[in-house]
Amino acid sequence: MEVRRTVPVKLDADSDDAVLLEDTVDTFLWSAQYVADHAFEGEYVTTSKTTLDDETYDDVREATDGFNGGLVQAARNKAAEACKSVVAKWKQGKKASKPYFTSPHVVYDHRTATFHDDYVSLATTSDRIEADYVLPDENRDTPHAEYLSSDEYETTGAELHYTNGNWMLHIHCKKDVEPDTLDQATTENGTVLGVDLGVNNLAVASTGTFWTGDEFDHWRREYEKRRGDLQECGTRWAHENMQAVGRKEEGRFKMTLHRISNELVAEARDNMCSVIAFEDLTDIRDRTGASWGHKWAFNRLYEYVEYKAAEYGINVEQVDPENTSRRCSHCGFTHPDNRESGSFECQKCDYENHADYNAAKNIGLRYLRRNQTGDDGGAPLGVRLNSGTLNVNGGYEPLASDEARTGVHAESHP
C-alpha cells in the first residue's frame, strides 16, 4: 500500500519567469475550460478522457500555439474529472452546473516538471524555467524535511498555485508501506478533525471549539449600511467611495478568515489530526440559508485551511453533507425532529448537545466511513473530540485525565 503526502514549497521566481508562469496558468485554465465546454456540447456530458483527448487535443494545441502537450493532457484530465463529478451529483439528485476554472493553478507531472533537491524545472508556454525552492532550516522538524528531503518518499507530481502574491508548488510525495507496518502507518495518520460551517457559527470543530459568526455579521451589516448611505448620494464621489468600502470590507473579512484558518490548523496539529474534514460546499446556501457573503466566506476559509494545513502534512477533504445535522452522532438515528434551531436532541437515545457540534462529529465520522477501506495510506483512527476519540463503530477512547478539556461541549461516554 502507499502513503501519500503533499508538501507546499514557495518558489523564488524572478519577474521574467513570473510572467511566463502567469501566461502558463492562463493557458492551462483556458485549455481545461475548452475541454469542459466541449464535454457539455452534446446530448450527454462526455466524461471519457480518451474521447475528450481525441476530440479536443489538436484544437487546443492549435488555439494555444502549441501549448506543451503534457500540460494540455493535464488540463484535459482536470476537466474530465470535474465533469465526472457533475454527472455523479446529478445521479444523486443534486444540483450541479458545468465546471468553470478560475483558481490560478497548473497541474504538473514528470513529463512537464523535473524535481531537484533545491529547485524545480517547469514547462511553460515558452521555454522551461528553473525556480529555486524557498525552504525552511533543514534542521527544523518540518514536512519538507520529513517528506520532500527523505529518501523514503518519491516525488510523483505537483500543482503550481498563485496564492497571496506567492508562487507555491504543492509537491506530491509517496512511499510504499509493507502490510506488516499497516498498524504503524495508521497510527501515524492520527485522527480526523470534523468541521461544520454555518451562519451563526462560522466554524465548529469536533473538538468542541467554536468560531462564532458575530464579528462577521456585525461588519457585514456595518458595510452594507455604509454602501446604502453612499448609494443614496448618487454622486461620482459616492460611487468611488463605495468601491473603497468594498475593498475595506473584503480586506477585513480576509483578515478574520485568515485568523480562523490559522486556529483551525493549530487545533488539528494540537490534537495530532492527519485530516481536516469539511462538508461539501456545493449547495451550502440551500442547506443553511446562508447569504452570498457567507458562501464566499466558507469557500475562502476552506481554501485558507487547505493550503495552510498542507504545510504540516495535514490533508483537507470534503464529504457528503446529507443529514449531518439530523443524524445522532451518538447512536446514528436520523430524523428531522432531532434538530431544533441550535439544539440537538436525539428522539431515540436522548443524546443532547449543540446542533453544530453534533454535525461536526458526523462530518468526521462520515470521512472515516468513506475511507475505512481506502488505499491512500490507511484511514485515521477516529474522530477527535475534546475528551477523546470516537471510531467508526462508535467505540470511544478517552484521553488521560490531565489531557481532557472541560467545558460546555465536553462529553462523558460509557
Whether the pLDDT of residue 159 is over 80: the answer is: yes
What 3-state DSSP class applies to 163?
strand
| pLDDT at position 361 | 92
| pLDDT at position 117 | 86
For residue 7, the cross-strand partners are 171
Cβ-Cβ contacts under 8 Å for 200 (sequence gap 6 or more): 212, 213, 342, 356
Instruction: Indicate the pairing of strand 339-340 with strand 383-384.
Output: unpaired
Mean pLDDT of the chain: 80
Q: What percent of the chain has pLDDT over 90?
A: 32
Q: Which class for 282: exposed (0-12), middle (13-18), buried (19 or more C-beta within 10 A)?
A: middle
What 3-state DSSP class applies to 325?
coil
Cell of 398: 478517552
Cell of 137: 532550516
Cα separations in angstroms, 104 against 16, 23, 183, 317, 369? 18, 11, 38, 20, 32
Name the nearest CA neighbour of 306 among 163, 100, 99. Answer: 163
| pLDDT at position 186 | 39
* Higher per-residue confidence, 318 vs 140: 318
Range of lowest pLDDT (15-29, 53-67, 284-298, 345-359): 284-298
| pLDDT at position 215 | 65
Highest mean pLDDT among 31-45, 188-202, 232-246, 320-334: 31-45
φ, ψ for residue 379 (rounded to 5)? -80, 150
| pLDDT at position 198 | 82
Query: What is the residue-wise DSSP string for 105-144?
Result: EEEE-TTTEEE-SSEEEE--SSS-EEEEEE---TTS--HI
Whether the pLDDT of residue 211 is over 80: the answer is: yes
Q: DSSP label at 337?
A: G
| pLDDT at position 183 | 40
pLDDT-derived band at 313, boundaries 50, 70, 90: confident
Cβ-Cβ contacts under 8 Å for 43 (sequence gap 6 or more): none
Q: For residues 11 and 131, is the Cβ–Cβ distance under 8 A?
A: yes
What 3-state DSSP class applies to 92?
coil
Location of C-alpha cell 509517496: 174
Range of lowest pLDDT (14-18, 105-109, 182-186, 337-341): 182-186
Q: What is the pLDDT of residues 220-274, one digit of tens each?
A: 666 566 656 666 666 665 555 655 555 666 666 777 888 888 899 888 888 888 8
Whether the pLDDT of residue 330 is over 60: the answer is: yes
Q: Measured between alpha carbons, how far is 305 from 278 in angstroms, rounded to an integer?
A: 10
Q: What is the pLDDT of residues 53-68, one digit of tens each?
A: 999 999 999 999 999 9
pLDDT-derived band at 16, boundaries 50, 70, 90: very high
Instruction: Indicate the pairing of strand 191-197 with strand 166-176.
Output: unpaired
Cell of 151: 529518501
pLDDT-derived band at 219, boundaries 50, 70, 90: low
Cell of 285: 446556501
